C-alpha cells in the first residue's frame, strides 16, 4: 500500500481498523449466543491506483441474514470531473473509513448502517460519517435508545458536534424524494467537518470524535438487536421486510454519497455493494391496510 502514509493518515487508518475489529467481535458474540456457527469472513483487497482494504462479511447467520463491516485505505488521482465536484483542491486524494450495514433475519429487528471516514484532497482535509436505523416495524423505544447514544456522543464532543443539527441532517440525507419517504427513523449524519489548520490539534480532536462514534456503535444498536431478534414472525411479516428492503436498495443505488464516491474512485465493486440485502422484493402499488403495524411505520417515515 505504498507510498508510505503520513503519521496522521496512519493513525486515522488504525482508528477505522480498531472500530471494525470491535464491531465484528461484538456481533460474533451475539451470533454465538443464539446458535450461530460461523463469524465474519475476511477478504483483503487491493485497489488499482493505490491502497486497498479489508471486507468482512457474515452471511446466513443465526441472527444476521447478511452483514458487512468494511475498512478501506485508498489514495491516488481523481478524475478531473470528480475532483471539481469535491470540496478540496487538485486531483490527489487520500481516504480511509469504516462502513457497515447489518440486515437481521428477523423482520422485527431493524437494519442499521454506519460509517466514519477521513478524506484529504490536496491541502483540504475533512471528516464525515454517522449512523441511521431502518426498522420494518416501528418501536418508539428503539428509536429513543438509538438517538440517545448519539446525543451523548455529540454532547461529549460539543465543540465539534451538534446533535440536533446532525439528527436533522440525517433525516434530510436519508430521504427518498421519488417515494416521499425517509429511509428510516434517523440517527446522525455529518459531512465535511474540515480540519482548521489555524487550530493546533484540531485534526486530532476530530479524529477522537470519529473514534468515539465508531466505538459507540454497539452501544446504540446491540440492545435493540437483542430485544427483537427472537420475536416470532409470520411469512407475511417476512414479505413486508423484503418489500421495505427495496427502499433501502433504491436509496443506496440512486442517492448514497458513499456508493458514488467508492465507484467513481475505482473502489472494489463487491465491497461497495456489500450493503445490499440478500433477499428483497418489489411489489406494484402495494400499501398496507389502515391501522396496522405496517401502516404505523409508513406514517412515521412519511412525516
Mean pLDDT of 95-113: 97
Structure confidence by residue, pLDDT tens digits, 257-295 = 778 777 887 778 888 887 889 899 999 999 999 999 999
Domain for residue 36, yes or no?
yes
Contact 190, 166 (CB under 8 A): yes
Mean pLDDT of 203-230: 98
pLDDT at res. 1: 43
Name the phi and psi angles at 53, rounded to 5. -175, -175
Contact 57, 68 (CB under 8 A): yes
Tell me, what DSSP letter sits at residue 191? E
Mean pLDDT of 70-94: 93
Give the Cβ contact number of residue 256 at 10 Å. Answer: 18
pLDDT of 153 > 70? The answer is yes
Mean pLDDT computed over every residue of the chain = 95
Domain for residue 2, yes or no?
no
Q: Coil, strand or helix: which one is 261?
A: helix
Q: How many domains would you assign to the chain?
A: 1
Decide if 178 is catalytic. no
pLDDT of 8 > 60? The answer is yes
Percentage of the chain modeled with pLDDT above 70: 99
Closest Cα to residue 212, out of 262, 161, 173, 261? 161
pLDDT at res. 87: 93
Domain for residue 256, yes or no?
yes
- What is the span of the domain harbouring residue 182? 7-301
Cis peptide before 3 (omega within 30 of 0): yes
pLDDT of 208 > 60? The answer is yes
Which residue is it, cell 404505523?
Answer: 296
Domain of 162, CATH number, reads 3.40.1500.10
pLDDT at res. 271: 80
Mean pLDDT of 26-51: 95
Active-site annotation holder among 38, 103, 113, 255: 113
- Rounded to whole angstroms, how far apart are CA atoms 251 and 107? 19
pLDDT at res. 259: 85
- Rounded to whole angstroms, how far apart are CA atoms 111 and 87? 31
Structure confidence by residue, pLDDT tens digits, 132-145 = 999 999 999 999 99
Domain for residue 44, yes or no?
yes
Domain for residue 1, yes or no?
no
Amino acid at each position: 500500500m505504498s507510498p508510505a502514509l503520513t503519521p496522521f493518515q496512519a493513525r486515522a487508518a488504525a482508528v477505522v481498523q480498531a472500530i471494525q475489529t470491535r464491531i465484528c467481535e461484538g456481533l460474533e458474540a451475539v451470533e454465538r449466543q443464539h446458535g450461530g456457527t460461523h463469524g465474519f469472513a475476511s477478504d483483503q483487497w487491493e485497489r488499482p491506483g493505490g491502497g486497498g482494504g479489508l471486507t468482512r462479511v457474515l452471511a446466513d447467520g443465526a441472527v444476521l441474514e447478511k452483514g458487512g463491516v468494511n475498512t478501506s485505505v485508498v489514495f491516488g488521482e481523481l478524475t478531473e470531473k470528480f475532483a471539481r465536484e469535491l470540496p478540496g483542491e487538485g486531483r490527489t486524494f487520500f481516504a480511509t473509513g469504516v462502513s457497515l450495514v447489518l440486515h437481521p433475519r428477523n423482520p422485527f429487528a431493524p437494519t442499521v448502517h454506519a460509517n466514519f471516514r477521513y478524506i484529504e484532497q490536496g491541502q483540504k482535509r475533512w471528516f464525515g460519517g454517522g449512523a441511521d436505523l431502518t426498522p420494518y416495524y416501528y418501536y418508539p423505544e428503539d428509536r429513543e435508545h438509538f438517538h440517545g447514544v448519539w446525543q451523548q456522543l455529540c454532547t461529549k464532543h460539543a465543540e465539534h458536534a451538534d446533535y440536533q443539527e446532525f439528527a436533522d441532517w440525517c433525516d434530510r440525507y436519508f430521504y427518498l424524494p421519488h417515494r416521499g419517504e425517509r429511509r428510516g427513523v434517523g440517527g446522525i449524519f455529518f459531512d465535511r467537518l474540515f480540519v482548521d489548520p489555524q487550530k493546533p490539534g484540531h485534526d486530532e480532536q476530530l479524529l477522537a470524535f470519529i473514534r468515539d462514534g465508531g466505538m459507540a456503535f454497539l452501544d446504540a444498536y446491540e440492545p435493540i438487536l437483542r430485544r427483537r431478534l427472537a420475536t416470532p414472525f409470520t411469512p407475511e411479516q417476512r414479505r413486508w421486510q423484503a418489500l421495505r428492503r427495496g427502499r433501502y436498495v433504491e436509496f443506496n443505488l440512486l442517492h448514497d454519497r458513499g456508493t458514488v464516491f467508492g465507484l467513481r474512485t475505482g473502489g472494489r465493486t463487491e465491497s461497495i455493494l456489500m450493503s445490499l440485502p440478500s433477499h428483497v422484493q418489489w411489489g406494484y402499488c402495494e400499501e398496507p391496510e389502515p391501522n396496522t403495524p405496517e401502516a404505523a411505520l409508513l406514517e412515521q417515515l412519511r412525516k
